Chains A and B, each alone.
Chain A
């Protein structure tokens, strides 16, 4: 089943979170489980907040008997000013390959939205290009390594990562120029 598709922006998040919670309860799960999926959606949105400040996104939920997917899709053409801002954000990050889930998501999205369609090269080359120019979803959690106890995490950036890592079964990202999609995958528990 696919839910309604709803617009999300940096200052218009609540309706999307309500949609996720409502959908989970509609297919027969408890209010508590709905709150858990709402939290996953909120952390998913929080992980790309810096892009949401530049462009709107759409969110929807797909469910099967066994799985639930929360999709967040950003697409559109950015103005020169907005693109410059993304470049600035990107430059403020390290030139080294991004470490950690949050940094990967941020780098992936800023890369997709900074590039011209003709020039777009995926940030992570282990994603496989499909026929229509999209790149196959790349799993972020399967390669995610929990920081060693001796490595002090960035207190502010690690929160979304830790919650997504702790609650989701996977988070995937796929992109082409001016379009990027982030998906949280969660195996649904038995309703019994």
Chain B
């Protein structure tokens, strides 16, 4: 998985490409370990076609953290990824556009 970040003011946009799974989720966790000063976190899932419970855990941790300091939006969610988000109840936790 590749992770590209772009900062604009207090908004951090993260473009992900690949699978968010057991193997790659620690990379995302590490890449976003310092969110100091970020009030709006945007995760662009355009090129994410696979997510597992390991990836969901990272999303949950990010959501909890951003809930304290701002907000988090997940954008452009693929059909299969959306199915997993629905199964796991994450559609009720995350803000998805």
A interface residues with partner B (beta carbon < 8 Å): 13-14, 17, 32, 35-36, 38-39, 42-43, 45-46, 153, 155-156, 158-160, 162-163, 165-167
A13 to B25, CA, bound (A): 14
User: Can you list 13 A-B pairs with a CB-CB distance of less than 8 A?
Assistant: A17-B21, A32-B80, A35-B50, A36-B80, A42-B21, A46-B54, A156-B60, A158-B89, A159-B88, A163-B87, A165-B87, A166-B87, A167-B87
Residues facing A in B1-60 (CB within 8 A) are 21-23, 49-50, 52-54, 56-57, 60
Chain A at the B interface: mostly helix, strand, loop or mixed? helix
Instruction: From the candidates A36, A45, A163, name the one contacting B88 in the complex (CB within 8 A).
Output: A163
Q: Say yes or no: is B84 at the interface (Cβ < 8 Å to chain A).
A: yes
A158 to B89, CA, bound (A): 10
Cβ–Cβ < 8 Å partners of B23 in chain A: 13-14
Instruction: Give the number of A-B contacts (CB < 8 Å).
Output: 48
Nearest 9 interchain pairs by C-beta:
A166-B87, A159-B53, A162-B88, A42-B52, A160-B53, A162-B87, A159-B56, A159-B88, A35-B50
A43 adjacent to B53 (CB under 8 Å): yes
Residues facing A in B65-97 (CB within 8 A) are 80, 83-84, 87-89
A59 to B60, CA, bound (A): 29
B interface residues with partner A (beta carbon < 8 Å): 21-23, 49-50, 52-54, 56-57, 60, 80, 83-84, 87-89
A159 adjacent to B49 (CB under 8 Å): no
A39 adjacent to B50 (CB under 8 Å): yes
Cβ–Cβ < 8 Å partners of B80 in chain A: 32, 35-36
Cβ–Cβ < 8 Å partners of A36 in chain B: 80
Question: Contacts A13-B23, A46-B22, A162-B87 hold; do A35 and B49 have CB atoms under 8 A apart?
Answer: yes
Cβ–Cβ < 8 Å partners of A32 in chain B: 80
Cβ–Cβ < 8 Å partners of A163 in chain B: 52-53, 84, 87-88
